[in-house]
Amino acid sequence: MPMSSLPAAILSHMTAINNVPPPPLHSIPNLKKSKHINYGQLNALCHIRGQHSRSMSNILSAHDTFMKQYPKVFLHQKPRLPKLFKQEEQRELNEGKEESQHQQPDDSNNIAVHVQRAHGGHILYRPKRATEKFEEFLAILKKLPIHRTPYEHKTVWKFLKTIPDLTFQLNDKHLKTLSKTVFSETWLKGSTVVANDGFYVILKGLARPQTNVYKNLIEGSDSPDSFIPQSFHSFIWSEELKNASLAEMYLPSYDSMLSKWSTFGTLEVMPQNESETQMFSVVTEDDCEILKIPAKGYAKIKEEKIKLENMQKLKLIRMCPYYEEWPTLSIYELIALLKWKKFPPGHVIVESGNIISFVGYINSGCCNIYRSIIGFVKLRSNKVKRSQKLVYMGKLKEKESFGEISVLLQVPFTCTIITKKEVEMAIIEDKDLFVA
C-alpha cells in the first residue's frame, strides 16, 4: 500500500538523522562561587539530621537548628566609612546660641599661596600657635568687658584657668564669672603699681616687689623676714608692718623679680584705714602689661554665693517638721549660725547618755537610731552574764532635725545616732546658740 507524502517525508528524515553522527561533547562551564555565601555553612545546613524523619519532635528540632544556622550562610561585608577630608577653616565653637565665625585672611594677592598651589601644595590653615593665641588674649583684654563677644569671654576664661594661684582658690564657676570683669593695664618702666584694690597678673615685662620692712630687720639680717615668696612668684605681706613711720621701702634682689604669669595683690576688699598703712606694690622694670581682677568683682561673687547658701539653708529648715510654722525672721536668725558639715558612714554622732554639742539639720543622707538595752545571756556553765546591746529603733531621714532638746535643756540623749551613709547636715554649735 503506498504511503502518503507526509509519513514518507517523516520516515526519510528519521533515516537521514540516524545516519548523521552525534555532535561533539562540550565541557560544562564552571560556576563562579558567590562572594556573599558561606558554602561550608550551606553544606552543613543541607545535611542536618532529622529533616526527613517521620517523628514530629525530630522534625521540630531540625527546623529550629535550620533557622538558627540559616543566617550564617550569608556573609556580611563590613561597612566602609567615607574618608574624612581636612577642613580649610577652623572654627571655635561657642557655648550658647551665638557662634563666633572667624574669616581666614584674603590670599588673593599672596604670591606664596599661588606658588604653593602650583606645586600641588595644600592650603590648610594651621591651628594658632601659643604666641598668636597670647596676642589675641592681650587684644581681648584691651576691650571693655561689655564690648566682648561670647567667644572672647570664653578665651579669657581659658587663660585664667591656667593660672595656678587662681585655680587654687576659685572654682571654674567663679573664674567664669570673673573672666567677664577682668581687663589689662599698661604700665611704663619705673611705675609703682599699688595692688590694694585687686589681684594682678603680669602678662608682659618684669616687676620688682616693693614692701615695708622694719629697719632693725634689715640691719640684723641679710634677708628680709617679712618678704615671703609664695609659689609661682606670688607673695604675701607681713601683718606686723602697720606703722609706716617706723618702716622704709626695701627692694628685693633680682632673684625675686616678678616675670610673666607672676601674681601679686589681694582679692579681699580692704578697709580704707588698713589700705593706707599696708601697701601691696611693685615697681615695673620694663613697660608692662598687667591683668587686673578687681576685688569688688570678687566681693560680688561672694555676696551671690552667700545669698544662694542662705536660700538653701532657709529651704532646709522650712522643710523640717518642727519649723514649718516658724516666722521667716526667726529662721534667718538661725541661718546666721548654721555651718555645713559632712560625716562619713558609720560615724557615731552622739552616744546614749551624753549631751550632744550641736543641733543638726540633715540635708542629705540618713542616720540610724539605736537604743542601748541591758540584757542577760545564759552561758554553758548555767551562769548568766549581763550584756549591753544596741537595738534598732528607727531612722533620721533627709529634711529632719535633732538635738534641740538636749542642747537647750542640757539633758542627755536617750539613744545613739550613727550615720548609715555619708551625711551632709547644717549644724548650730551649742556655744553659738547660747551666745546668740
Judge if 134 and 267 occupy the same domain.
yes
Q: Which residues of the chain have pLDDT under 70?
A: 1-8, 10-11, 13-31, 50-54, 78-128, 211-255, 271-279, 436
Judge if 207 and 356 occupy the same domain.
no
Judge if 285 and 415 occupy the same domain.
no
pTM of the model: 0.48
3-state secondary structure of 9: helix
Predicted pLDDT at 171: 82
Q: Could you tell me if 184 and 141 are in contact, meaning their C-beta atoms sit under 8 angstroms apart? A: yes
Q: How many CA atoms lie within 13 A of 371 on its CB side?
A: 7
3-state secondary structure of 201: strand
How far is Cα 178 from Cα 170, in angstroms, rounded to an integer? Answer: 10
Judge if 291 and 409 occupy the same domain.
no
Burial (0-12, 13-18, 19+ Cβ within 10 Å), 427: buried
The DSSP bridge pattern shows strands 183-187 and 207-214 to be: unpaired
Strand partners, 361: 401, 426
Q: Could you tell me if 318 and 304 are in contact, meaning their C-beta atoms sit under 8 angstroms apart? A: no
- Whether 55 is in a domain gets the answer no
Domain hosting residue 184, numbered range = 128-211+254-300
Query: CA distances (Å), 327 to each of 20, 332, 334, in order?
Result: 124, 9, 11
Predicted pLDDT at 251: 44
| Tally of structural domains, the chain | 2
Beta-carbon count within 10 A of 349 CB: 21
Q: Could you tell me if 241 and 278 are in contact, meaning their C-beta atoms sit under 8 angstroms apart? A: yes
Q: What is the CATH number of the domain that holds 398?
A: 2.60.120.10
- Whether 161 is in a domain gets the answer yes
Predicted pLDDT at 168: 83
Using the 3D structure, point to which of 285, 300, 315 is the last residue of a domain: 300
How far is Cα 417 from Cα 295, in angstroms, rounded to an integer? Answer: 44
Burial (0-12, 13-18, 19+ Cβ within 10 Å), 82: exposed
- What is the crossing angle of helices 56-69 and 39-46, to 10°? 170
- Whether 366 is in a domain gets the answer yes
Helices (H) and strands (E) in the chain, counts: 14, 18
- Whether 329 is in a domain gets the answer no
- Whether 3 is in a domain gets the answer no
Predicted pLDDT at 285: 92
Q: Could you tell me if 280 and 226 are in contact, meaning their C-beta atoms sit under 8 angstroms apart? A: no
3-state secondary structure of 149: coil
Judge if 370 and 281 occupy the same domain.
no
Residues 6+ apart with CB under 8 A from 291: 141, 182, 183, 184, 200, 201, 202, 203
Query: CA distances (Å), 69 to each of 48, 328, 332, in order?
Result: 10, 74, 74
Q: How many CA atoms lie within 13 A of 430 on its CB side?
A: 14
How far is Cα 253 from Cα 223, in angstroms, rounded to an integer? Answer: 9
- Whether 426 is in a domain gets the answer yes
